[in-house]
Chains A and B, each alone.
Chain A
Amino acid sequence: MITFLIRRTVQSVMVLLVTSIAIFLLLYLAPGGPMSEILEQRRSANSRFPIKPEDIERLKKQYDLDLPLWQSYTRWAFGWPNIPGRPARAGAIRGDLGVSWRISENEATTAVIGRVLPNTLILMISSTLFSLLIAIPIGIYSAVNQYSKLDYVVTTGAFFGTAMPVFWLGSMMILLFAFKFKDWGLPYLPSGGVTGARDYTLPLFGRIDAGGNFDRFLRLLMPTITLSLLSLATWSRFTRASMLEVLRQDYVRTARAKGLVESMVIFKHTLRNALIPLVTIVTLQIPGLFGGAILTETTFNYRGMGLLLIESLFQSDWPVALAYLMIQSFLIIAANLLADVLYTVVDPRIRFA
């Protein structure tokens, strides 16, 4: 087990290194970047004095864009080499992921990410827990009562949930719960955002403090439900299939033959084994918790990590995009490692040499 962990850790570090080089190269070789604004100024034909090439070089130096690509990378990744006349860098390896170029000028990328990360974690954890709490019981019920009326209803619902485009579902929810409920005089939900800017009054609930916990809760409802529906559908189907497979195993038949009560058969002997594949899926979901959901966040104007990635790419804020992608890479690698370890906990038959 120890040998396995050491081997996997070394492999993970190598993967992370290669990933960082690939991501860095892709971003820095792509067109655009912080110089686009100054080039836009140069494009403006009304400017009587076009900006000189020397001025463009001065600004490139500010972003280390005048250095050879390998040097830009080593300064970003390892803080080496230290160049006189330029700010010293600790490097990503020591947690210095640089400062934002465009989204929040000169602010540490970790601070930019740290600001939206709680929003994303709240949204993703809420939707994951909500999905699991509903998906697993549904999956169990559907498997135990295969081809029952409820099984058909749940199966149909699952297909509906899987097939539903998030932006469409989200828009329909806004239409119904934000616009129509308000028109009908019912307690409505705010159309989006993490918090409101102004207090508002809801029928039955009275005055809601903008920025208060209840305001946040109300704004979280629609994105959580929208996001949950997709994973709820997938996970309930997954649990059902896994349960059905285990229910056909000999040891389940043996357990029943021994006269065990059905609840013991289902929950102790079947569910535990049926959950192994689900554990893998849910564990691999961890990086997704940090990554956010771009479409849901956009539809509901929810400032989270997914939206941050899109904005950083649209605005050529490479340090922010790099920081996001590196954190994601790290989490994916760590989650894979964790999944391997968790197998051994859930299934005693699995042991690593």
Chain B
Amino acid sequence: MKHLSARGKLAFPLLIGILAACGGQPATPPAPAPTAVRIVQTVLVEGTPQTVIVTATPAPATPAPAAKLADTIIIGTWQEPRGFYSVTNSQAIRVEIDQLFRPRFVRTNNYGFQPNPALLEGDLADLQTGKGAVLNNVTVKVGEPVFSTSSFSVISATEEVTTKQLILTSKLKAGLKWSDGAPLTARDFVYSWKIGCDPESGSLDQTNCTFGSSAGSGGVVASYEAIDNTTLVLTYTPGVLDPTYQTGAANLVNPLPEHIFKELKPADIAKDERANGGTSAVPLSWGPYMMKEWTKGDSITFVANPNWSGTPPKTPTIIYKFYTDSTALAQAVITGEVDTTSGTTGLAVDQAPYMESVSENGDIVYTVDGNSASFEMLYLNYNDPKDKSLKTLHPLLSDFKVRKAIATALNRQQAVDTIYYGQSKILAQPQLPQMVSYNEALGKIDYNVEAANKLMEEAGWKLGDDGIRAKDGMKATMTLLTTSGNAPRQKATQLWQANLKDIGIDVQLLYQPSSVVFSPDGLYNRVFDAIQFANVFSNADPGSWWFGVAACSQIPTADNGFSGNNYSNWCNKDASDASIKAAFLTLDPTERKVAWEVVVKAYFSEGDPNDYTTGGYPVIPLFTRPSYLATVPGLKGASLDPTEYFTWNAAEWTLESN
């Protein structure tokens, strides 16, 4: 074990730093592009001589020869998927690779939804027009499943109620086929859903299963049916209103080929290489590519799918090549061993300055996307975690003014500049500007140490000789918990520590493995003063984000078994009710927007001074986490998207051959 160390990550900055210092071989200067020139000439316009300026681009002296295209593109990633069985595997790298051979039926580019025209007929489901979506009034009898607006889960009705029932219909393109030539029909979707809802299947999540189908079933879906070969109907349990209903019925599950698995028990499918992928068999495809070979530990090869009904891919072969870490991957793209890094498990901020310098030589094309859908945030606990019942006020953080002072004292721009080299974005509110719930006019957080110190004074925390404030004989101290092994996050917490020292708060940093931070010993049972982690959105709808932040019912306590995501204990009645309405009770965009405005206003407000739980600033937004992509200069078509996997258009990619 003497070779054990920090995975060689130290080596890369050194290596690339020296490379950059050496300057490398200067890139061959590109041929000068045709330049627009201004030509001044006198012409006769309707009998009167006039001077006009004609801006023209002269034709090149000789037409450039068409570039020869390579037949293979290699994508590098530092994570190998553990399998391809979508029922048991939700890894991001699995879904990224899936887009080559099992693309989504509804895509999520740039925070929106777009039907995949090669797979789906028609447009997105729309309640306004009634196309693909209807909302019926139904009467639920005693004992039948219904969504409870008090427990926010599906329960057995205790009395007869009338409520809404959402029904979605999706129409598949006719003639879709699996890569073995068998027809892909709506029944393959229903089969997949049934397998995923079987208690023995090992599925990760049984939320979308019928009520009572297993002990852990969420009961959200009442039925999922194939009306014919191309028509799918998804009926939600009465009372369940899905704000992302536009994705329709086809996006509920990934289809499974019933014709090859129908003889197997649900528990055995996960062990079958035709589902999971392996050295002797691979999963079937319904996309532009199909999996040809998986050399475990090394690479997966995809070739054009002859049974794909859409436009054939421009590059016949794509290889996913696996590396040990982002350092090795960066070396591989610089030396041209791979043509692009992965969009999800590719480069990190560690490599950013060095990749920038290498890209200046023209050896790679390096892209940083600061508008990613992921952001860091800091939760503040209103209660003292030393009291396990969480009924004691936190001596420092239960005060609204202190929380506001902390938010104001954090120099987030400095963090962005020093940790992310200015390539990240600070957030005004605890949500992304792209969200439909966002309205910057409702409030924003600005850095102002003077104002923060004033707030601390107003809160009664007086500065001591040691620079730490105190109140009633108690020092202003707190712990800040976050995950170990995440260098940028740890650097940020060190900066917060210094920032808060400026307003007289002493911060002790605690770094724990993510398995501890996200466990009952950390986040879930609220064993923290302050905790930093990230949240990721997959589209512009906040879903239940604000519900998790603001709903009083979502405060994890010993009484409710520490369930819920309101980790701070913020309980402002107006905000709570509004967050519930927007998350569960209406699909009307206007009503939801009004509800979110109530929540965001409450977030910035002091609330009832006599009730510490009502004051805002439960969670402080920090900054977005950028995404990174490096490609060889000849690769065209690959780019980052904040909410869609970058392989979504891989069939369009081309690579100029050397």
Contact = CB atoms under 8 A, between A and B. Distances in A.
Interface of A: 31-33, 36-59, 62, 100, 102-107, 115-116, 166-168, 170-172, 174-175, 178-180, 182-183, 190-198, 293-303, 306-307, 310, 315-316
Given A31-B513, A179-B335, A192-B328, A58 B216 contact: yes
B80 to A, nearest CB: 8
A32 B515 contact: yes
A103 B298 CA distance: 13
Nearest to A291: B1
A168 B206 contact: no
A198 B657 CA distance: 13
B296 A307 contact: no
A106 B270 contact: yes
A45 B3 contact: no
Contact of B89 (A31, A33, A105): A105
Q: Which of A32, A192, A300, A306 has the most CB of B within 10 A?
A: A192
A197 B214 contact: no
A39 B518 contact: yes
**7 tightest CB-CB pairs across the interface, nearest first?**
A55-B216, A32-B515, A45-B548, A171-B11, A301-B328, A105-B83, A54-B215
Interface stretch (B44-52, B106-114, B538-546, B621-629): B538-546
Contacts of B247: none
Interface stretch (B16-24, B164-172, B398-406): B16-24
A307 B298 CA distance: 13
Contacts of B323: 192-193, 301
A298 B325 contact: yes
Nearest to B22: A180
B205 A51 contact: yes
A294 B216 contact: no
Given A31-B515, A298-B7, A174 B331 contact: yes
B418 to A, nearest CB: 25
B515 A33 contact: yes
A178 B331 contact: yes
A153 to B, nearest CB: 26
A294 B4 CA distance: 6
Given A37-B204, A48-B584, A106-B271, A191 B5 contact: no
B220 interface: yes
Interface stretch (B222-230, B492-500, B559-567): B559-567
B506 to A, nearest CB: 28
Q: Which of A40, A51, A59, A299 has the most CB of B within 10 A?
A: A299
B202 interface: yes
B12 interface: yes
Given A297-B324, A303-B298, A38 B535 contact: no
A162 to B, nearest CB: 12
A249 B397 CA distance: 76
Given A102-B82, A170-B11, A295 B216 contact: no
27 contacts: A31-B519, A31-B521, A32-B513, A42-B524, A47-B543, A49-B152, A50-B563, A52-B217, A54-B216, A55-B214, A59-B204, A103-B82, A104-B296, A105-B89, A105-B270, A106-B270, A115-B296, A167-B10, A175-B18, A191-B332, A192-B331, A193-B332, A197-B337, A296-B3, A299-B8, A310-B4, A315-B82
A62 B216 CA distance: 14
B564 A50 contact: yes
A271 to B, nearest CB: 28
Contacts of B88: 105
A197 B319 contact: yes
A303 B538 CA distance: 33
Contact of A179 (B5, B19, B89, B217): B19
Contacts of A174: 15, 331
Interface of B: 1, 3-5, 7-8, 10-12, 14-15, 18-19, 22, 24-25, 72, 74, 80, 82-83, 85, 88-90, 152-153, 199, 202, 204-207, 214-218, 220, 242, 270-271, 276, 278, 296-299, 319, 321-325, 328, 331-332, 334-335, 337-338, 513-516, 518-519, 521, 523-524, 533, 535-538, 542-545, 547-549, 561, 563-565, 583-584
Nearest to A55: B216
A49 B220 contact: yes
Given A49-B153, A55-B206, A196-B337, A36 B514 contact: yes
A203 B61 CA distance: 35
A144 to B, nearest CB: 31
Given A49-B218, A51-B216, 5 more contacts: A45-B545, A49-B220, A299-B8, A301-B323, A306-B3
A301 B324 contact: yes
B521 A52 contact: no
A179 B533 CA distance: 38
A170 B324 CA distance: 15
Contacts of A44: 535-536
A119 to B, nearest CB: 8
A48 B583 contact: yes
A52 B216 contact: yes
Contacts of A302: 324
B515 A57 contact: no
Nearest to A170: B11
Contacts of B515: 31-33, 36, 316
Q: Which of A46, A58, A102, A116 has the most CB of B within 10 A?
A: A46
A295 B19 contact: no
A100 B152 CA distance: 36
Nearest to B538: A46
Contacts of B319: 197-198
Contacts of A32: 513, 515-516
Contacts of B523: 43
Contact of B297 (A115, A198, A296): A115
A53 to B, nearest CB: 7
Contacts of B72: 198
Contacts of B583: 48
B543 A46 contact: yes
Contacts of B80: 103
B205 A55 contact: yes
Contacts of A307: 324
A23 to B, nearest CB: 14
Q: Which of B24, B216, B242, B321 has the most CB of A within 10 A?
A: B216
A56 B334 CA distance: 43
A36 B202 contact: no
